[in-house]
Amino acid sequence: MRQAAQPEVPGEAEKVAFLARAESYAHRPAAVEVVETHMSWVFLAGPRVFKMKKPVRTRFLDFVTLERRRQAVADELRLNRRLARGVYLGARALRLRPGGGLTLGDEGEVVDWLIEMRRLPEERELKDLVEAGRAGPADVDAVAGMLVAFYQSQPAAATTPERYAERYAREHRETAKVLTDPAFGMDGESVAAALSEFEAAHEAARPLLEARVRAGRIVEGHGDLRPEHVFLTEPPVAIDCLEFNEGLRTVDPFDEIAFLGLECARHGADWVYPELRDRLEAGLDDRPEPALLAFYWRYRALLRTRLALLHLSTPGVKHPAKWRPLAERYLGFAAEAEARAVAPA
């Protein structure tokens, strides 16, 4: 007797098509908006958001197998719940019914894993608020309070002074390769000056970086603290932490807020960084040397320069005319490091 043929495991396109349909969800949203990122598919389904990781492998992550994606979903839930309590609702299995066809129900073989989230109000996103000039010092105080409580709750990271300081040198070597690549057409003189200034700043900051580790000031932080990941709800939350690489989450809180302050400055809110810096200094009873603060700002600006340029080497990149001018703007931010470190709130 011939066995019935087993349903074929669906590919990524079939999964995305299923999750893009409102009738696929028990709560029946009016419509589903699909957003593609480098690493995930995101489905905005009424009051809920579902995220499915792509089966990709890069220098920093590997989501190729179902088991790796299951673990990545578990890690994302655990880590993001630290700064976004009540937002990350749980893991949902995407299944293949015994007779064929996908389902978010309880029967069938698991073919992928999704994160289910509560949808946050888009009008409370920090990036949009600072761009519109609708964020004020009280809002930044609330964000700083959230961050202070979070950093105080984290134990000292398991790293060594040498490893922590060397990470910046390693990342700088990657940055230098990209910025000096003739294919990106950056101004050679400006790039050479920026790279030289970073190398001198790193040499001077190395003892300070190592001292931060010895003092227990380095923690497992958010890792990707951008204004589009911060929502001024009550209380504020920060989503989308960098869950796939612990090394990149191992940060000094003042490095992390340099990144958030830099991105707010890019969106027109220069005043945010000094507010954050002063509130963290008071809340953590920690006042890093201005040279260290300037180093963190310079590092983040050059790293963002590199990442902006790398968009141009991505197949099918959206808005290609955007990226080199943005890289040049970040390069300009790097030159302002010392002034940013001591700017009054």
- What distance, in Å, lies between the first and last C-alpha atoms of the chain? 80
Q: Which residues pair with 48 in a beta bridge?
A: 45, 118
Same domain, 231 and 337: yes
Task: Indicate the pairing of strand 219-220 with strand 102-103.
Answer: unpaired
Q: Which residues pair with 33 in a beta bridge?
A: 44
Residue 4 pLDDT: 52
Same domain, 58 and 171: no
Residue 1 lies in a domain: no
What type of residue is 138? A
* CB neighbour class for 161 (10 Å; exposed up to 12, middle 13-18, buried from 19): middle
pTM for the model: 0.93
Query: For the chain, what is the radius of gyration of the CA atoms?
Result: 22
User: Which residues in 169-306 belong to E strands, given as ranges?
Assistant: 219-220, 230-231, 237-238, 250-251
**Of residues 95, 100, 114, 96, the one with CA closest to residue 41:** 114
Residue 82 lies in a domain: yes
Residue 6 pLDDT: 61
Same domain, 94 and 150: no
Enter the tokens of residue 323: 């990226």
Residue 129, CA distances (Å) to 122, 140, 262, 272, 301 in order: 10, 11, 15, 12, 22
Residue written as token pair 């069938």: 108
Same domain, 177 and 318: yes
DSSP states of 267-285: TT-TTHHHHHHHHHHHHHT
**Of residues 94, 59, 92, 64, the one with CA closest to residue 76:** 92
- Look at residues 69, 93, 118 and tell me which one is the last residue of a structural domain: 118
Residue 5 lies in a domain: no
Same domain, 228 and 100: no
Residue 1 pLDDT: 46
Domain count of the chain? 2
Residue 6 lies in a domain: no
Same domain, 49 and 132: no
Distance CA(29)–CA(111), nearest Å, equals 23
Same domain, 100 and 211: no
Q: Give the pLDDT of the chain (345 residues) as one tens digit per residue.
A: 445 556 678 999 999 999 999 999 999 999 999 999 889 999 999 999 999 999 998 877 889 999 999 999 999 999 999 999 999 999 999 999 998 999 999 999 999 999 999 999 999 999 999 999 999 999 999 999 999 999 999 999 999 999 999 999 999 999 999 999 999 999 999 999 999 999 999 999 999 999 999 999 999 999 999 999 999 999 999 999 999 888 889 999 999 999 999 999 999 999 999 999 999 999 999 999 999 999 999 999 999 999 999 999 888 787 889 999 999 999 999 999 999 999 998
Q: Which domain holds residue 51?
A: 12-118
Identify the CATH number of the domain in which residue 246 sits.
3.90.1200.10
Residue 7 lies in a domain: no
Residue 239 lies in a domain: yes
Same domain, 231 and 211: yes
In degrees, rounded to 5, the angle at the alpha carbon of residue 70 between the alpha carbons of residues 5 and 16 is: 60
Same domain, 39 and 159: no
What residues have CB less than 8 Å from 142, skipping those under 6 apart?
232, 235, 236
Same domain, 146 and 177: yes
Same domain, 85 and 177: no
Residue 58 pLDDT: 84
**Of residues 324, 309, 299, the one with CA closest to residue 171:** 299
- Look at residues 87, 118, 149 and tell me which one is the last residue of a structural domain: 118
Same domain, 35 and 62: yes
- Look at residues 118, 137, 172 and tell me which one is the last residue of a structural domain: 118
Residue 113 pLDDT: 98
Q: What is the DSSP letter of 156?
A: B
Phi and psi at 70, nearest 5°, equal: -60, -45
